[in-house]
Amino acid sequence: MTMTSSKDWSAAQYLKFEAERTQPARDLLSRVPLTTPARIIDLGCGPANSTKVLSTRFPQARITGLDSSHDMIAKAKTVLPTSDFHVADLNTWTTDEKVDLFFSNAVFQWLKPDERIAVIKRLLAPQEKGTVFALQVPNNLSEPSHVLMGEAAAAGPWAAKLDGVQREGFQSPQELYDLVKPFAGEVHIFETSYYHSLESHEAVVEWVKGTGLRPFVDPLDEDEKRGFLEEYLRRLRGAYPVSVDGRVLLKYPRLFMVAVK
Ligand SMILES: C[S@@+](CC[C@H](N)C(=O)[O-])C[C@H]1O[C@@H](n2cnc3c(N)ncnc32)[C@H](O)[C@@H]1O
């Protein structure tokens, strides 16, 4: 099994690290070359963290948030009642409207590799010159936080159930450029590594529980889940030192793309 599991995303778990998860959305938006976009779509809006960033920067814009998770959309509607939110799957959603900005923070890594480019092309190619498609994805599959998920998955009685579970890596910057440039006037790509100071190794587990760990724990029963998480935590303690203040520094590389039609 790869990609998202059938279980729904949890807004509450995701929001435990709201400030850290929202900073990349701010950084991505700071690179969007638009001053007064009228129409914005937040693709994979989650609990509206990214939508709030958009509506604060562009209060005049009409903003729609889309997400495949009912729990996320229910939460988003309570957070930002002035925007409009719908349950929708990016793999099939499309629009005939003129859109100024497609914005997507931490979503496209969950789509299958060939679907990612297909979605960007389906939405951006029919738009007028000047429309922007901005996305950010974690680029952390080589970090201990993620490598150790795979190692812990192979190291217990749950191994057969978790055989083959792993998100597929994102396109390299060169691949992304070559795949998007044929239907965009400009493609800007950049990377940033964040270093999040988290309270403890347990907090690292809580962080990834809201995202990358989900495909590993979702297939397990309660006993297996407990065993797997203990094994993962034991490995994290070996990989991440304790900082001078007793906290743990989690390195988190992210990849950004701003394409202009
Ligand atoms: C890590 S969250 C990002 C939420 C928000 N953009 C933010 O900046 O905090 C990823 C979101 O992508 C959504 N998602 C994953 N696959 C999707 C798909 N195929 N179509 C729509 N949403 C999807 C998930 O439900 C989840 O809410």
User: Rounded distance, CA 90 to CA 92, Å?
Assistant: 5
- What tens digit of pLDDT does each residue of 54-102 get? 999 999 999 999 999 999 999 999 999 988 999 999 999 999 999 999 9
User: How many domains in the chain?
Assistant: 1
Q: Is 193 exposed, middle or buried (0-12, 13-18, 19+ CB in 10 A)?
A: exposed
pLDDT at 3 over 60: no
* Pocket-testing residue among 107, 119, 135, 218, ligand 1, by greatest number of atoms within 8 A of Cβ: 107
State the pTM of this model: 0.89
Q: Where are the alpha helices (DSSP H) in 10-164?
A: 11-14, 18-29, 49-57, 70-79, 113-124, 144-153
- Among the ranges given (15-19, 77-81, 149-153, 203-207), the one the predictor scored with the smallest mean pLDDT: 15-19
* Pocket-testing residue among 14, 15, 90, 110, ligand 1, by greatest number of atoms within 8 A of Cβ: 110
Q: Residue 6's pLDDT is what?
A: 41
Domain of residue 246: give its range: 11-260
Q: Residue 7's pLDDT is what?
A: 57
Distance (Å) from CA 241 to ligand 1 centroid: 31
Domain for residue 213, yes or no? yes
Domain for residue 201, yes or no? yes
pLDDT at 140 over 50: yes
Domain with 136 in it: what CATH number? 3.40.50.150
Domain for residue 3, yes or no? no
